[in-house]
A and B are shown apart, each in its own frame.
Chain A
Amino acid sequence: MVAFDYAPAIALLPFASFVIALFAGKYMPKRGALAGILATGGSLVLSIWMALTVAGGETYNEELYTFVSPEAFDLHLGILVDPLAALMLVIVSLVAFLVHIFSLGYMNDEGETGLPRYYAGLGLFTASMLGFVLADNLFMAFMFFEMVGLCSWLLIGFWFRDDAPPSAAKKAFLVTRFGDYFFLVGVVGVFVTFSTATYAGSESFVTLAEEALAGNAGAVNTFGFDPQTWFAILGLLVLGGVVGKSAQFPLHTWLPDAMEGPTPVSALIHAATMVAAGVYLVARMYGFYALLPTVLAIIAFIGGFTALFAATMAVVKREIKQVLAYSTISQYGYMMLGLGVGGYVAATFHLMTHAFFKALLFLGAGSVIIAMHHNEDMWDMGGLKDRMPVTYYTFLAGSLALAGIFPFAGFWSKDEVLYEALVHGLNDPLLLGAYAMGLLAVLFTGFYTFRMVLLTFHGEPRSETAKNPHGVGWNVKLPLVVLGALAVVAGFINMVPVAELTGANIEFLHKWLEHGITGVTSEHYGELLHDVAGYQAAELNPLLPAVVSLGLALAGAGLAYSLYSGGSPERHTDRLGSIKTLLMSNYYQDEYQVWLADATTRVARAADTFDQGVIDGVVNGVSSVSLFSGSRIKRVQTGVVTNYAALLSLGLVALLVVFGLLGGWF
């Protein structure tokens, strides 16, 4: 198929813009922005073409470049384009494209310096994420996963001359790296177990694992473990990388700090790249996780807990981006919950809608921040509604979607996640617990979302800048409008409750993910979940749970309205007393991780002493012994030719005598 010949270009175009911005950016009119916009625009067009081709029933699964031939380990670069990948490609390239345009307003118009570096980082970030999405095997995915991590470090620390950004960048890098260690071990484990790490096809590790569990072990080496146990270990190791990148408890601490980066970068990180990478990875190898009920339950529980836990912290934050950061953690918790309870389609759906409305919210927040001259404190805002209507209405659309209010995008997807959790949870108390936490989080989400909207846009201006905000240009408004529209309508592609009620065939995303390559379709995952993992769905009308969650969301929003509406709202958070301190301090998660880091430093210091003393001592010893013996050997060369002749003859005689004795010549 012709379309797929251009698949590599999707990732290569932003890479080209990275190279251009890096080397030629400073000579270009917009310092590399135009190259980035063109490249991501090209990627978007190609991605849509891929999606249309996939919609026509075609898929693509090819090796492109082989590092090591399949005899020992199959290390190669390849491309897998199926419905899931095509959907993700469109999401990532669309968000990246809009973020590039928005950056014109946020960075260029604000007169930032170092723009070529910024656009180079943005291009490489997009390229890495697109490469990650296109990857047809875990090895390649790991390479791009690490590149994504590197780019996040570059961009979060973009303003490296201040104190906080470099430190936040380091934290993001180190915390995600901690998860990636597990991922790396998991990848190696997959290789030694299956000798391959491809996702799809009859020779993929997913299929091999399925066959091994069916009793046909073949060449699969489980090191003496029961296959189920061993695969669960591998699944949990890979999950380590996912928990780090997707900012799930307990490795979520890097994400709020990452707000130190430029706001468009935050939008990119939270909506399409980096954080999405973790969830996408689980979805990508869902055929593997669907075999492992224990791991699924852990994923569901982590997800549900993270959703609630992060939502509570978002309640008390003062800064607009901090609220959004905790909401991201919470929303990715929902996705993990969806995946864990067997709602593969629901989680993918939420990944998509969240990408749109979260990108929208961040860009909206960016617009507010431009207007507020880079003051992010919501208590200094207020009343911006009338002064920046485009931002207000789009931001409101995003907020309604985030809070899960009917009929905005987030309602449909979050509701489907919760519905899946409930129907499976009725047969499994652990999943039911995860559901309960997810449901409770809806209340908090409604509350913090509307607290944020009310404090930012409603009431009387609480500072001089809020009275006279800085205007924003088309390049800010255009992305907001596009995303705002999507935040309203994106949910309509998969209205499960409506379909159930009316019997209409409108579950388009279900249809979309059902076809594709054999073994990596939602249909097959459903069979695996039922037959191997033993998931049973209870019969339940989707209407009642939908009404419950909508009611909770409205209750949260109503509570926020009753507390924070009016001209000059009070600071009610003080009434929480010591709970406020606890929430403001993020449950002391950072403190214990600092303590952990200190302990690690102590171990590192001991290792350093060992290295300096023992290892270097041995190395230095060897080299001085070598040099000393070298200088002795040098003395054999006296410069006197008679000595040479004598030594030469003696050497020959010695050889003759020894070999004569050995060979018995005499």
Chain B
Amino acid sequence: MAPLPDWTAAAPAILLGLTAIALLIIDSISPRSKNRNLLAGTTLVGTLAALAAAVGLLVTGTGTNGGVAIYGGQIVVDGMSLFFTIIFTSVAALVTLASYDYLAGENEQAEYYALVMLATTGMAMMASAGSLALVFVSFELLSLPSYALVAFLKDNRGSVEASLKYLLVGALSSAILLYGISLVYGVTGGLSFETIAANIQNSGLTGMLGIGVLMVLGGFAFKTASVPFHFWAPEAYEGAPGPISAFLSSASKAAGFVVAFRVFTVAFGLDIVSSVDWVLAFQVLAIVTMTLGNFAAATQDNVKRMLAYSSVGQAGYVLIGLAALGGGQDALVLGMSMTHLLVYGFMNTGAFLFIALAEHWDIGRTFADYNGLGSQAPIACAAMSVFMLSLAGIPLGGGFLSKYFLFGAAVGAGFWWLAAIAIVNSVLSLYYYLRVVRAMWFEESNGDRTIEGYPLGLYTAVIAAAVVTVLLIPAFNFVADPAVDAAAALF
């Protein structure tokens, strides 16, 4: 059998893009279709096909030996890009499942799914981007559908307001990123990562390069919702429909990280740290982000907003992957950071989907509204407890192991103080995560809440996420090993 042509390495992104087009075609044939089975089914099939393609490529070893570079190095498919594509498509699949019930009765379902698919395509492209030009294009391909998706509940003031804020902050951040890219281009004379890496040392324009690098960093910090580019996040996550909050806080954040990982390790590299200390910048960002995220989360009364801030805090932990570089444990630190993102992809998506479930039941948004829910919806509440404990780092889900190894790798790299601050934050996070668990199981229900029906799609998605979160404990090495290998290939 002849070897497959190189372009097949981009199959996941291509499949996602084709699914988006297919959805648009369906929409043009029967506008405003409410055929949930057809629309959600098409999306799910496309997503799962992309997931299968990514897993297949990873298993067959496409990502090894530096991966496959196509279109003149514009697209690089390697272990890391496939690993992240798996995260994106998994989250997209869960979100699609959940949206099946969430969107019941809505008019613009085809657009919704098409936008989700376009955004996922953008993420897959970001993971494989080999030049800053493609980074920016795919970045916008992700951002623009996201703005629209946040505003999907057009009659809901919160949704629209959140979208507008997201758009404005996003526009500002895109501008900063673009300006940073142009400065880097000016210094190195190229946009592809190879060219940048080749020319970055002997440019002589350190100041300009430094400003460029930090502005690029700012652009990525916006996508990952890192302080001080996080302002949009609590508002957007709170205002957006539940599944979209899950999508943005898990997949979109991971997309920001993958592009940051690649640009900083491959294009900029650790050699420029003596003059442009981006590692120190990430350390500052990591500490500020995790501290602010956790402290703000601790005082929220609204569960969804608490989760929004908690996801800011979690981004702070993941930033350790870049902040603890240069300590001799680079592959391990970065690999564990990637693993944590994968585990986080399931536990955080699951948590937001549980919120979507609560929105579907219309039971209110504060902690007190969840009182005694455990007796009415025990399975969903058990799943939510798994997510909360796993996010807090208690060994009920994979979150414990990924956090443990991430902090452990940071200590091993000599950044014990970074790990210490992260642990203090983790302890604080226990407080607000357990508030949810306590409300669900240990508080008496106030008032008469009735739960009509147990929506199949939402339940499937929540339970699937919980099962994977728990299974990631025994299967941790199956995930962590490819992640560390993929990270090692970058250096």
Residue numbers of A with Cβ under 8 A of B are 623, 626-627, 629-631, 633-634, 636-637, 639, 641, 644-645, 647-652, 655-656, 659-660, 662-666
B residues less than 8 Å from A664 (CB atoms): 206, 275
Known contacts: A626-B428, A664-B275. The answer to whether A652 contacts B298 by CB under 8 A is no
**A645 and B172: CB pair below 8 A?**
yes
Bound together, the chains give a CA A641 to CA B211 distance in angstroms of 25
B490 CB-CB contact with A under 8 Å: no
What 0/1 readout, one digit per residue, does chain B (276-305) give for beta carbons within 8 Å of chain A? 110011001000000010011111100000
**A644 and B169: CB pair below 8 A?**
yes
- Contact partner, A659, options B277, B292, B300, Cβ 8 Å: B277
Bound together, the chains give a CA A633 to CA B296 distance in angstroms of 6
Given contacts A626-B428, A648-B229, A664-B206, 12 further A-B contacts (CB under 8 A): A637-B231, A641-B169, A647-B231, A651-B228, A652-B215, A652-B228, A655-B281, A656-B211, A659-B210, A659-B214, A665-B207, A665-B275
A residues less than 8 Å from B34 (CB atoms): none
Task: Specify the chain B residue showing the minimal Cβ separation from A642.
Answer: B168
User: When A and B form their complex, what is the total count of cross-chain residue pairs whose Cβ atoms lie within 8 Å?
Assistant: 89
B residues less than 8 Å from A627 (CB atoms): 298-299
Task: Specify the chain B residue showing the minimal Cβ separation from A654.
Answer: B228
B residues less than 8 Å from A634 (CB atoms): 296, 299-300
B438 CB-CB contact with A under 8 Å: no
B173 CB-CB contact with A under 8 Å: yes
B residues less than 8 Å from A626 (CB atoms): 295, 298, 428, 431
B234 CB-CB contact with A under 8 Å: yes
Listed from nearest, the 9 A-B pairs whose CB atoms lie closest are A651-B228, A665-B207, A644-B231, A630-B299, A630-B295, A630-B298, A641-B165, A631-B299, A665-B210
B123 CB-CB contact with A under 8 Å: no
10 pairs, A vs B, C-beta closer than 8 Å: A630-B297, A633-B292, A633-B295, A633-B296, A634-B299, A648-B169, A651-B228, A659-B281, A665-B207, A665-B275
A residues less than 8 Å from B280 (CB atoms): 659, 662
B330 CB-CB contact with A under 8 Å: no
Bound together, the chains give a CA A623 to CA B218 distance in angstroms of 32
B235 CB-CB contact with A under 8 Å: yes
Q: How far is the CB of A645 from chain B (nearest CB, A)?
A: 6
Residue numbers of B with Cβ under 8 A of A are 164-165, 168-169, 172-173, 176, 206-207, 210-211, 214-215, 218, 227-229, 231-232, 234-235, 275-277, 280-281, 284, 292, 295-300, 428, 431
B residues less than 8 Å from A656 (CB atoms): 210-211, 214-215
Bound together, the chains give a CA A660 to CA B228 distance in angstroms of 18
Task: Specify the chain B residue showing the minimal Cβ separation from A638.
Answer: B231
Q: How far is the CB of A183 from chain B (nearest CB, A)?
A: 29
Q: How far is the CB of B408 from chain A (nearest CB, A)?
A: 16
Bound together, the chains give a CA A217 to CA B215 distance in angstroms of 63
- Contact partner, B276, options A636, A637, A647, A659, Cβ 8 Å: A659
Task: Specify the chain A residue showing the minimal Cβ separation from B233.
Answer: A637
**A649 and B210: CB pair below 8 A?**
no
Known contacts: A633-B292, A637-B296. The answer to whether A663 contacts B231 by CB under 8 A is no
Q: How far is the CB of B9 from chain A (nearest CB, A)?
A: 36
A residues less than 8 Å from B232 (CB atoms): 644
Bound together, the chains give a CA A626 to CA B218 distance in angstroms of 28
Bound together, the chains give a CA A437 to CA B284 distance in angstroms of 75
Task: Specify the chain A residue showing the minimal Cβ separation from B211.
Answer: A656
Bound together, the chains give a CA A651 to CA B173 distance in angstroms of 12
Q: How far is the CB of A640 from chain B (nearest CB, A)?
A: 9
A residues less than 8 Å from B431 (CB atoms): 623, 626
B residues less than 8 Å from A649 (CB atoms): 172
Bound together, the chains give a CA A662 to CA B279 distance in angstroms of 13
B residues less than 8 Å from A659 (CB atoms): 210, 214, 276-277, 280-281
**B296 and A665: CB pair below 8 A?**
no
- Contact partner, A629, options B169, B172, B277, B295, Cβ 8 Å: B295
Task: Specify the chain A residue showing the minimal Cβ separation from B165.
Answer: A641
Bound together, the chains give a CA A666 to CA B208 distance in angstroms of 10
**B296 and A630: CB pair below 8 A?**
yes
Task: Specify the chain B residue showing the minimal Cβ separation from A658.
Answer: B284
A residues less than 8 Å from B210 (CB atoms): 656, 659-660, 663, 665
Q: How far is the CB of B278 from chain A (nearest CB, A)?
A: 8
Task: Specify the chain A residue showing the minimal Cβ separation from B273.
Answer: A663
A residues less than 8 Å from B173 (CB atoms): 648
Q: How far is the CB of B309 from chain A (nearest CB, A)?
A: 9
**A645 and B214: CB pair below 8 A?**
no
Task: Specify the chain B residue showing the minimal Cβ separation from A629.
Answer: B295
A residues less than 8 Å from B211 (CB atoms): 656, 660, 665
**A648 and B296: CB pair below 8 A?**
no
Bound together, the chains give a CA A491 to CA B427 distance in angstroms of 63
B residues less than 8 Å from A655 (CB atoms): 214, 218, 281, 284
B residues less than 8 Å from A647 (CB atoms): 228, 231
Bound together, the chains give a CA A627 to CA B276 distance in angstroms of 36
A residues less than 8 Å from B295 (CB atoms): 626, 629-630, 633
A residues less than 8 Å from B164 (CB atoms): 641
Bound together, the chains give a CA A594 to CA B255 distance in angstroms of 67
Task: Specify the chain A residue showing the minimal Cβ separation from B276.
Answer: A663
Bound together, the chains give a CA A647 to CA B218 distance in angstroms of 13
Bound together, the chains give a CA A641 to CA B161 distance in angstroms of 10
Bound together, the chains give a CA A664 to CA B228 distance in angstroms of 24
A residues less than 8 Å from B300 (CB atoms): 634
Bound together, the chains give a CA A664 to CA B207 distance in angstroms of 8
**B169 and A645: CB pair below 8 A?**
yes
Task: Specify the chain A residue showing the minimal Cβ separation from B428.
Answer: A626
Bound together, the chains give a CA A660 to CA B212 distance in angstroms of 11
Q: How far is the CB of B421 from chain A (nearest CB, A)?
A: 14
**B214 and A648: CB pair below 8 A?**
no
**A660 and B207: CB pair below 8 A?**
yes
B residues less than 8 Å from A650 (CB atoms): 228
B residues less than 8 Å from A639 (CB atoms): 235
Bound together, the chains give a CA A263 to CA B229 distance in angstroms of 74
Bound together, the chains give a CA A31 to CA B431 distance in angstroms of 45
B residues less than 8 Å from A637 (CB atoms): 231, 234-235, 296
- Contact partner, B228, options A633, A648, A662, Cβ 8 Å: A648
**A666 and B428: CB pair below 8 A?**
no
Bound together, the chains give a CA A651 to CA B227 distance in angstroms of 9
Bound together, the chains give a CA A300 to CA B281 distance in angstroms of 70
Bound together, the chains give a CA A664 to CA B210 distance in angstroms of 10
